[in-house]
Structure 1
Amino acid sequence: MKFDYHTHHERCGHAQDTIEDYIQAAIKNDLQMIGISDHSPFFASEKDMAMPGIAMAKSEFSSYVEEVLKLKEKYRGKIEVLLGVESDFFRDHHPLYKSIYDQYPFDYIIGSVHFSNESNIFDKRRWENVTEEDVRKQKEHYYKLIVESAESGVFDILGHIDAMKGFYPDFTNVHTPEVEKALKRLGEVEATIEINTSGKNKDCGGWYPANDMLEMACHYGVGVTFGSDAHWPTRVGDEFEEVRDTLKEIGFKKWTVFRERKKAFVEL
């Protein structure tokens, strides 16, 4: 089975083209399953669109769901279209997010830590004039948030779990035992992480997470799934075969897939 659980579209303000364009790209690339997972609104904000160019407006959310459900029916028999969303994890607000998501027929929800210590993980300014100890502390805090996101019970898939390296490749070279502790905990709560191939578009290159983390994930029994994190249709399914082959080499046997918030497994 070839699939992609992580795609965006024009509603979020920083991706190109329509949902249907991504579905058609998936068909062209011989996928059997395509997940639509645009950035959820910032529901805790009083503003309709708290961060233009980052996430959709609250007023767009219902129409987003409706459009995906219509396209699911339109393409039934040609490709399986899944309704998803990529949600931010905020310590203080995840119950609110859960109460909203529970109102809709999602197939899966991706939980991503985009904000750590009140700053976007992709903000290059956070790395100005930092010491190795500063980076270590930031890294430890980031992985505590990832563990908390897994423990929250809100999410089916954890998104790009080492994406903080995106614009600071040396992040990978600063070591802390908290990373392995986090992977161990993810295994204990039977979490699923995505292998996200969008790192190639950042300074770090490669995938999220890197192979050393994938080896730990395999050791601790963490589930894996695939997401390109496509922000333009030509990236749908990008490097799926390479990811699958690497996972087999590491020792993984199965993909984790979701429908109607229910977990299942398919052979790699």
Structure 2
Amino acid sequence: MRVDLHNHTYRCNHATGMPEEYILRAIDKKIDIFGFSCHAPMNYDPKFRMGYEEFKDYCIDIQRLQAKFSNQIEILLALEMDFLPNHLDLLYEDLLKAPLDYLIGSIHFLDDWGFDNPEFIGEYKKRDMLECWREYLASLKQMITTGLFQIVGHMDLLKVFNHQPPKILENQIQEVLEAIKKQNMALEINASGLRKPVKEQYPSERIIAMAFEQKVPITFGSDAHSVEHIGFGYEQVIEIAKNIGYKEAVFFRKKRMFFYDF
């Protein structure tokens, strides 16, 4: 079975294409279960996410597609939520409790630095990357222990511009994976890194292997921001997971985890 759980819509203001185009592409790519997980509204960085007033229409859009294509593909409704340490107040509580299939928790900011945005790439020259990685991993662990999310999105995103995590932090990475397992969450294998300067999936093969040793469940996601992104690198990340030893992955319906063979 083929499942793709991380995909966006034009409502986030930095993706293109209509949701129905995404579904037609997913069907063409023989995807069995496709999840929309657009950037959730929050009281921060409104330029790169839907507005709170759009959330209802976002749900209606996806529910219409669920009905229209019910005989061809299963469509899941979700959100990707930014986590800012010590600022849960920036998240809308009613969205956390909304009847969605899953929530992807992700970190795109260190303090007010959007580190994966090319617009702010110059900031890397001003930062101690060892300390950045320590802060990033600590924030991930804090995010996981909230128990608010089902999936950890692109776990090592901080490497996007080729700043890999120092080996000295392997124990801290291990602690993050142990927290994922303890919270009964899943680790996303995200193919979008193959389209970025780092030219590899998130997370690295080493981290995926560490997750396998801990029996951490995995999901797969294109992180599509255009129709052409759907299925990009899918076979490659599947092969990586298989070579490491994974035979099963998971998806979520109404925040309940289901396993499937891939």
Which bracket does the TM-score occupy, shorter chain normalised?
over 0.9
Per-residue CA deviations over 1:41-75 (Å, capped at 9, x if unaligned) read 12x35xxxx432x1111111111111111111111
What residue in structure 2 maps to residue 124 of structure 1?
A: 121
Per-residue CA deviations over 1:77-97 (Å, capped at 9, x if unaligned) read 111010011110123343663
What residue in structure 2 maps to residue 105 of structure 1?
A: 99
User: Which amino acid is 1:207 matched to?
Assistant: Q
1:51 aligns with 2:46: yes
Deviation at 1:238, TM superposition (A): 2.0
1:181 aligns with 2:178: no
What residue in structure 2 maps to residue 60 of structure 1?
A: 54
Of residues 227, 234, 249, the one that matches 1:255 is 249
User: Residue 102 of structure 2: SS of its match in structure 1?
Assistant: coil
1:228 aligns with 2:222: yes
What residue in structure 2 maps to residue 37 of structure 1?
A: 37
Of residues 54, 69, 78, the one that matches 1:75 is 69
1:265 aligns with 2:262: no
Deviation at 1:189, TM superposition (A): 2.5
Following the alignment from structure 1 to structure 2, what is the Cα–Cα distance between the partners of residues 223 and 137? Answer: 28
User: Residue 180 of structure 1: SS of its match in structure 2?
Assistant: helix
Following the alignment from structure 2 to structure 1, what is the Cα–Cα distance between the partners of residues 96 and 113? Answer: 28
Which stretches in structure 2 are left out of the alignment for 5+ residues?
A: none
Following the alignment from structure 1 to structure 2, what is the Cα–Cα distance between the partners of residues 118 and 175? Answer: 26
What residue in structure 1 maps to residue 164 of structure 2?
A: 171
Contact between 1:187 and 1:222, CA under 8 Å: does it hold in 2? yes
1:6 aligns with 2:3: no
What residue in structure 2 maps to residue 15 of structure 1?
A: 15
Contact between 1:135 and 1:174, CA under 8 Å: does it hold in 2? no
Following the alignment from structure 1 to structure 2, what is the Cα–Cα distance between the partners of residues 104 and 18? Answer: 23
Which stretches in structure 1 are left out of the alignment for 5+ residues?
A: none
Contact between 2:38 and 2:78, CA under 8 Å: does it hold in 1? yes
Following the alignment from structure 1 to structure 2, what is the Cα–Cα distance between the partners of residues 241 and 100? Answer: 37
What residue in structure 2 maps to residue 27 of structure 1?
A: 27
Following the alignment from structure 2 to structure 1, what is the Cα–Cα distance between the partners of residues 98 and 25? Answer: 26
- Name whichever of 70-79 and 95-104 sits farther off: 95-104
Following the alignment from structure 1 to structure 2, what is the Cα–Cα distance between the partners of residues 93 and 74? Answer: 39
Contact between 1:197 and 1:228, CA under 8 Å: does it hold in 2? yes
Following the alignment from structure 1 to structure 2, what is the Cα–Cα distance between the partners of residues 3 and 149? Answer: 25
Of residues 129, 137, 143, the one that matches 2:137 is 143
Per-residue CA deviations over 1:172-202 (Å, capped at 9, x if unaligned) read 3463232222223322323211100111222
Following the alignment from structure 1 to structure 2, what is the Cα–Cα distance between the partners of residues 27 and 148? Answer: 37
Contact between 1:116 and 1:142, CA under 8 Å: does it hold in 2? yes
Deviation at 1:171, TM superposition (A): 2.7
What residue in structure 1 maps to residue 240 of structure 2?
A: 246
Following the alignment from structure 2 to structure 1, what is the Cα–Cα distance between the partners of residues 234 and 88? Answer: 31
Deviation at 1:102, TM superposition (A): 4.6
TM-score (norm 1): 0.90
Per-residue CA deviations over 1:208-233 (Å, capped at 9, x if unaligned) read 00101101111112110000101111
Deviation at 1:98, TM superposition (A): 6.4
Per-residue CA deviations over 1:104-132 (Å, capped at 9, x if unaligned) read 321111110111233112131221144xx
Deviation at 1:3, TM superposition (A): 1.5
User: Residue 67 of structure 2: SS of its match in structure 1?
Assistant: helix
User: Residue 86 of structure 1: SS of its match in structure 2?
Assistant: strand
4+ runs deviating over 4 angstroms = none
User: Which amino acid is 1:194 matched to?
Assistant: E
Percent of aligned pairs with the same amino acid: 31
Q: How many residues align?
A: 258
Deviation at 1:150, TM superposition (A): 1.1
